Structure 1
């Protein structure tokens, strides 16, 4: 699938899987690579298995299967994009019926950083010889040229040299070596040979250069899979990664007459993998299974608590200074312990649904067929949760290219009709076709281009959208506005009727709401129309019992109206809703009881008599409440006046004439307050009695 230059395998860490001494003949599964141990190297002679199968999901994943011969003791390499390594680690599956799976490994996520962690210099040291020598100050080297010496690198410093005859300046680098006979200098550019004498230093430089070569492809990693056993046999290797979704594009040819239409479905696929798909088996999957992604290629560390180091108590003897103040003991303070921050685990991201791995290694590939053979109907298979399309011919798609392959080409049951959607067009219906899937498998959703007429003379009539069409079900596909038909719609509103049933103070109210939608349909003068009226479904409403032939969907009501040519047809859609409510009348106030039983459609003389009595009681209670309100207002006025009189009495004194007048007035007011209190109590008792009478009337009500 990918075609980068395979990196060198020397000194490359790999991941190991446990295996038994006698491998089973069943397919070995190489999964859970992130938990395996590191090895020191891989088997020499690694190769790449050719890509033989591509399974594309409409949910945004692709399953790739590589298959071919391997020899026991050898290994194969699988170059993958860096952003796909997590998915490969999650889904990599190896099929080997004859031998066993050995080591499976790949370089670390940041192999250069790990490489330079163990080297005495960083990656910047390889920028130039000067940078390398300055990074290895103190290392012994041998130089030859105008100056021949052996010594340790002291420093390389740039210097500007003026060229003769005004030729400008040039930068040279002066190397200083500390030798046994002192400091020796030489111009680096004039040397013919410079050699590091320490074999370990030469090996470290070689490791760094080899690592740079292996990791030139920054966005690539190579997974290496080893195989045990003897002899040559055929194996397969599969994995699931993110990929562009494949799109569905239908062509629908509507005949002039008859009940069938020609449906042709094409799949639009893109190859953005970085490698060509050459003569591969192509499988398309339409489904929505659950898939997860996890950062398996990222190293995580757990946070460990740090405990202080236990030391002896520090003793601070007091100095022998009797005249000085006693010193304050100084607390010993060590460096504050550093805590490693807890690593932030990458958030689980929701991916598009994963594809199931193949049950077994694919059989040997048949001879490649021409692209013309793709016109044959693809082999469709419907599983429990997804729909698969297998193509009879091999497919070749170059990297970065887009291809179209047919997966459906057959007749379907189709009926021309007109669909009226008020929210789409208030006055015009939509030209539509009712398609029934009478095939063996479901049809995935996609865009539809509709044509009118027979093959060779078909004319474009519009575009449409086909939702998922399960086996044995039908959908309306709308592709144009019918400008020749006029529809007037009027919402006549909702009429409500309420019936009541009362037993022992419990009232059950049944409210029936009836909504009527009226239509006037005027078809063309020379054409009949069969209009399917589509109204949004409202919670609780259903077609009235006298409405026949109304189809109900989870979101719509559909009523079919035949509109003969040359005249206006009137029709209506009546919807009903029934609500029930139970009320305990004895828990309500008299006025609420009265409000509940008034206006019932099944009101009887007894109910009217009870309502009249309740009306009288409510009137008496309201008058009593009004009187209590008047008495409360008078009580407040008297209280305010007494506060004023007591304030004045305190100012003039009780022995004065004016003071005695204040006292007489206060006595009179106190007598009135006592009368108000008695009257208020009587009114309160009267109200309670009338409420009790109302409750008794409610309990005795029969309806």
Structure 2
């Protein structure tokens, strides 16, 4: 491959004493962040450099911390976001011009240069078998020179040469546009170790668990919990023997586009110019206007009607003016765990190596925790309980979320996969149930019932007030077959009801209770008690004031259930009295109310009878009146006598009904006065 030393690309290069800082430690967070520490030796007067993914530059700029024990920090420099665009701005070059030396020199056509002792302006360049032929324009004409291996061409404009060199750097950098070279300017008079720390976005580390559990009914009281972490190195840099820490916590994290150029939009003001001077040209004289048309509305004979074009011309000018307007993962590695408020860190005791782009699964925890096999009824509508482990976090640190693969540790289950369980974050000392399978050998059924017990009676005007203790019970009939051991039951909360059974815990699961299965069928009962108030009106208040009612205008038979003493209320109160214990406060008042209501019932029954008699007499009176009208002579006189008798019978029946109504009203008023 031929090579021509282009001095124009060397004029702007400077010898930098720079050290690429290697990664020494990484802390991965469950919140999707990575804290990266780079440590390396920097020579006196040198800079600290490293490469970072372009997508991490925003986070790097906002979180970078430099620890230089013997120097000062001058600043951070890195290529612009749109490197090529900025580097080529104002140059007579484009990135494609760097495809060959002939294309590069040709793109600089017109620039003054010196090649092989000749000076002139570049006219053309082409590759020939002997080398690179360059044509220069000199004051005396065209000069063609041949540049061989190692010969150079120099630009007279050193500033332009420096910019071309920077453009070449941009072309090289743009080929790896997904990362940037970061240079930290330092000032010191000796070599020393410099540390750089920053936080960037990273794939979350994902914990997974291996759980070895004792057999059901076993005397073993511990389970072995192993934690593995899935770690991905997406930093673009190899992690060679780094110290790795895994953090579980919920730190607040934000992103800000610091690397993107941001321009603030401004209001654009128009350029003020003088108004145009408009002059109407002189078109000379014209004949006088014609006379007005005749009153009949048509042109005079021999004359043509005319229209002025002025309105159309004005509309056209107005439209033109309007158009002109603008609109705008037993680990081999020792583990250290440390916890602070809301944060747990697992630090691997030995250094690890993970190359860029690799995924690793590393153990970070191996512990034996207090545990017990249990059965768990979580869904009362199911037929079989869950096989579960009751696990207590006896570690000095919390355990993060993750899935646990459950294996048997003894007996027939030794080494067998039993199922998967989900571990949610467990604080220090927390106890959790981890269900991993359903036990189809054990069956259960549930039933619900409700009973009421009157605990207090009070009387108010026209109302009997009851305080009732309602017992709502959930019964679980369970057949454990040969199963022996603890059974945990989760029951839904019942708002307003008090559980009358031992409650071990409360949580999102509701109320947790526990029983012991003894290889024999059993029925477990879980009662809740609720206090309920019930008001029983002695009559329908919707009728208004009974005193204002008139029995003649009111259908008693149709509304008897709404009236005091009518069917329904008395029978209901008698039933309540029958199930009210003798020692219940207010029972005597209930007895008296029932007796009084019985008296009202008698008066009401008498009233109904009297009203029916009156209605019969009224019907007879109506027939008698009709008979008088239909007869004559002696028959009419007899009909009149019967009419008089029917009238007297009706009056007597009405008086009896009035008396019964008044007697019923007095009994009702006495009833209403109780408890007033």
TM (norm. structure 2) is 0.65
Relative distance call for 1:149 and 1:49 in structure 2 (3 A) is: closer
Separation in 1 of the partners of 2:264 and 2:65? 29
Separation in 2 of the partners of 1:222 and 1:511? 80
- Corresponding position: 1:289 with 2:248: no
Aligned partner of 2:525 among 572, 576, 580: 572
The Cα of 1:702 is off from its aligned counterpart by 4.2
The Cα of 1:460 is off from its aligned counterpart by 3.1
8 A Cα contact 1:464 1:479, kept in partner: yes
- Corresponding position: 1:412 with 2:369: yes
Aligned partner of 1:385 among 342, 351, 356: 342
Aligned partner of 1:199 among 144, 150, 157: 157
Alignment of 1:295-694 (within 5 A): 295-321=257-283, 323=285, 374-376=332-334, 378-422=335-379, 426-454=382-410, 458-492=415-449, 514-524=471-481, 526-537=482-493, 540=495, 542-545=497-500, 547-549=501-503, 551-565=505-519, 567-576=520-529, 604=590
1:83 alignment counterpart: 55
Separation in 2 of the partners of 1:102 and 1:402? 37
Separation in 1 of the partners of 2:351 and 2:545? 80
Separation in 1 of the partners of 2:107 and 2:398? 68
8 A Cα contact 1:143 1:191, kept in partner: no
Q: Deviations over 1:465-492 (max 9, x none)?
A: 2221111120011222212211122344
Alignment of 1:217-256 (within 5 A): 217-255=176-214, 256=218
Q: Deviations over 1:320-351 (max 9, x none)?
A: 44647999799999986796xxxxxxxxxxxx
Q: Deviations over 1:525-546 (max 9, x none)?
A: x4424321223445x165533x
Paired residues in the alignment total 529
Q: Deviations over 1:576-627 (max 9, x none)?
A: 55578999x9xx95589989x97797994787779999xx9xxxxxxxxxxx
Rg larger for: 2
Separation in 2 of the partners of 1:127 and 1:217? 17
Separation in 2 of the partners of 1:239 and 1:450? 39
8 A Cα contact 2:497 2:531, kept in partner: no
- The runs of 5 or more residues in structure 2 that have no matched partner are 1-8, 287-307, 547-561, 577-585, 605-668
Separation in 2 of the partners of 1:208 and 1:119? 9
8 A Cα contact 1:519 1:570, kept in partner: yes
8 A Cα contact 2:333 2:350, kept in partner: no
- The secondary structure found in structure 1 opposite 2:59 is helix
- The secondary structure found in structure 1 opposite 2:428 is coil
Q: Deviations over 1:626-654 (max 9, x none)?
A: xxxxxxxxxxxxxxxxxxxxxxxxxxxxx
1:357 alignment counterpart: none
8 A Cα contact 1:412 1:437, kept in partner: yes
- The secondary structure found in structure 1 opposite 2:226 is strand
The Cα of 1:151 is off from its aligned counterpart by 5.8
8 A Cα contact 2:59 2:200, kept in partner: yes
Separation in 1 of the partners of 2:672 and 2:264? 73
- The secondary structure found in structure 1 opposite 2:87 is helix
1:669 alignment counterpart: none
Relative distance call for 1:213 and 1:400 in structure 2 (3 A) is: closer
Separation in 2 of the partners of 1:269 and 1:87? 20
Q: Deviations over 1:33-85 (max 9, x none)?
A: xxxxxxxx999211122222111112221111112333453210121001111
Q: Deviations over 1:418-467 (max 9, x none)?
A: 112227x8211121111111222212222222232359954432221222
8 A Cα contact 1:430 1:478, kept in partner: yes
Relative distance call for 1:46 and 1:416 in structure 2 (3 A) is: same
Aligned partner of 1:270 among 215, 232, 248: 232
Separation in 2 of the partners of 1:137 and 1:610? 121
Separation in 1 of the partners of 2:257 and 2:459? 67
8 A Cα contact 2:112 2:157, kept in partner: no
Separation in 1 of the partners of 2:463 and 2:343? 55
The Cα of 1:502 is off from its aligned counterpart by 7.8
Separation in 1 of the partners of 2:21 and 2:226? 35
2:77 alignment counterpart: 105
Separation in 2 of the partners of 1:65 and 1:91? 12
Separation in 2 of the partners of 1:89 and 1:294? 10
Q: Deviations over 1:154-211 (max 9, x none)?
A: x8999xxxxxxxxxxxxxx9999877688x7999999999957643555444332232
8 A Cα contact 1:543 1:550, kept in partner: no
Relative distance call for 1:408 and 1:210 in structure 2 (3 A) is: closer
Relative distance call for 1:129 and 1:453 in structure 2 (3 A) is: closer
The Cα of 1:569 is off from its aligned counterpart by 0.6
Separation in 2 of the partners of 1:496 and 1:177? 116
Relative distance call for 1:550 and 1:72 in structure 2 (3 A) is: same
